[in-house]
């Protein structure tokens, strides 16, 4: 068992990474059905939350079926982070996660996200401010460091643990790398192997198959792994990895019925949560992923992204099922 404060997770938990515009409640519900053990909201701006921004508030929507669930916040100001931790705690997530890893310019320029990687003292103060303002477990997600010459994650891990975080997720890249190159898990393993570290350490970066999950589990000894991009359009990756860990065998690739079922659920829940129009429009970015690798699928994909009406989408999904033999 892995414990984050009072939250009990199974051995070697699989986490769904926080992803802006992706890890919303409909998508999380799917990942939860496929066995994700812990999930996070999209990141929420602390300043936005305090200003009562509608988009930020919508990200506070969590549901009992998806527990344990963490809400992730970011910001560069201690007072704003403390206040937004209180706002987040009021909706009763299982934990509050702080993002110190977002490499996007508009976030970094405000001294938030990965911007904080340049100032560890500030990072520690921001974290402490959050920890002190809630009784919920506070966790952190970050990167190896700002750039190649400042990979300070080992020091960061100790200092954040000292101010009370209950778990740390590490993306094996620096801010400068953005998403380029290959994630380097060696420093993640160094943090995990530090005898002073007693909180769970979750590895993140480039896990995209059951084989790689097991290889990295064995090679780097982390307490669990966090999966981002590989879950987009493939929420079944959690089930695939769990099965592989348990049996050493792969389950069959999802057939068309499984893909269509996942899309049907995703769009249904999206429309329920976001309303019909937004639900249909935002679903468009997902079709290519759900049907990746299917031969001659382009005409259907083009059709799916042109439809405005949910019923027509359901009909098209039925046609797809008829056309592609199982």
Q: How far apart are CA 229 and CA 101, in angstroms?
A: 15
> Of 98, 129, 134, which is closest to residue 116 (Cα–Cα)?
98
- To ligand FMN, the closest distance from the beta carbon of 142 in angstroms equals 8
Instruction: Between 212 and 301, name the residue whose CB sits nearer to ligand FMN.
Output: 212
State the residue number with the nearest CB to ligand FMN.
Answer: 228
- Among residues 31, 102, 130, 271, which one is catalytic? 102
- To ligand FMN, the closest distance from the beta carbon of 194 in angstroms equals 21
CB 116 within 8 A of CB 100: yes
CB 31 within 8 A of CB 25: no
| 31 counts as catalytic | no
Beta bridge partners of 2: 9
- To ligand FMN, the closest distance from the beta carbon of 21 in angstroms equals 6
CB 92 within 8 A of CB 58: no
- To ligand FMN, the closest distance from the beta carbon of 300 in angstroms equals 24
Q: How far apart are CA 130 and CA 82, in angstroms?
A: 5
- Give the 3-state secondary structure of residue 28: helix
Radius of gyration for the chain, computed over Cα atoms and rounded to the nearest angstrom: 20
- Contacting positions for ligand FMN (CB under 6 A): 17-20, 22, 42-43, 72, 99, 101-102, 141, 171, 204-207, 227-230
- To ligand FMN, the closest distance from the beta carbon of 264 in angstroms equals 23
Angle formed at CA 46 by CA 40 and CA 51, multiple of 5 degrees:
125
Q: How far apart are CA 141 and CA 159, in angstroms?
A: 14
Q: How far apart are CA 158 and CA 239, in angstroms?
A: 33
Instruction: Between 87 and 226, name the residue whose CB sits nearer to ligand FMN.
Output: 226
> Of 167, 172, 176, which is closest to residue 146 (Cα–Cα)?
176
Q: How far apart are CA 63 and CA 16, in angstroms?
A: 16
- To ligand FMN, the closest distance from the beta carbon of 39 in angstroms equals 11
Residue 273 token pair: 């949560």
- Residues serving a catalytic function are 102
């Amino acid at each position: 068992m892995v414990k984050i404060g009072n939250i009990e997770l199974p051995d070697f938990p699989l986490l769904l990474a926080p992803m802006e515009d992706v890890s919303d409640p409909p998508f999380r519900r799917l990942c939860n059905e496929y066995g994700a053990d812990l999930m996070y909201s999209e990141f929420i701006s602390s300043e936005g939350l305090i200003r009562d921004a509608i988009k930020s508030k919508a990200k506070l929507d969590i549901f009992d079926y998806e527990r344990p669930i963490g809400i992730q916040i970011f910001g560069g100001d201690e007072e704003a982070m403390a206040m937004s931790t209180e706002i987040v705690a009021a909706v009763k997530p299982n934990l509050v996660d702080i993002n110190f890893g977002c490499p996007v310019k508009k976030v970094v320029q405000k001294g938030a996200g990965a911007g904080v990687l340049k100032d560890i003292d500030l990072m520690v103060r921001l974290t402490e401010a959050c920890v002190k303002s809630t009784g919920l477990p506070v966790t952190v997600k970050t990167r190896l460091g700002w750039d190649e010459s400042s990979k300070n994650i080992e020091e960061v891990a100790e200092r954040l643990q000292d101010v009370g975080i209950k778990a740390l997720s590490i993306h094996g890249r620096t801010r400068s790398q953005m998403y380029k190159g290959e994630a380097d898990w060696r420093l993640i393993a160094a943090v995990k192997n530090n005898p002073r570290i007693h909180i769970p350490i979750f590895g993140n970066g480039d896990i995209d198959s059951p084989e790689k999950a097991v290889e990295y589990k064995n090679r780097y000894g982390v307490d669990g792994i966090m999966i981002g991009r590989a879950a987009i359009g493939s929420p079944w990756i959690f089930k695939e990895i769990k099965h592989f860990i348990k049996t050493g065998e792969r389950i069959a690739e999802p057939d068309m019925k499984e893909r269509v079922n996942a899309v049907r659920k995703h769009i249904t829940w999206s429309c329920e949560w976001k309303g019909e129009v937004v639900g249909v429009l935002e679903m468009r970015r997902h079709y290519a992923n759900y049907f990746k690798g299917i031969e001659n699928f382009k005409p259907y994909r083009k059709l799916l992204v042109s439809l405005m009406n949910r019923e027509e989408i359901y009909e098209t999904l039925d046609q797809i099922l008829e056309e592609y033999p199982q």
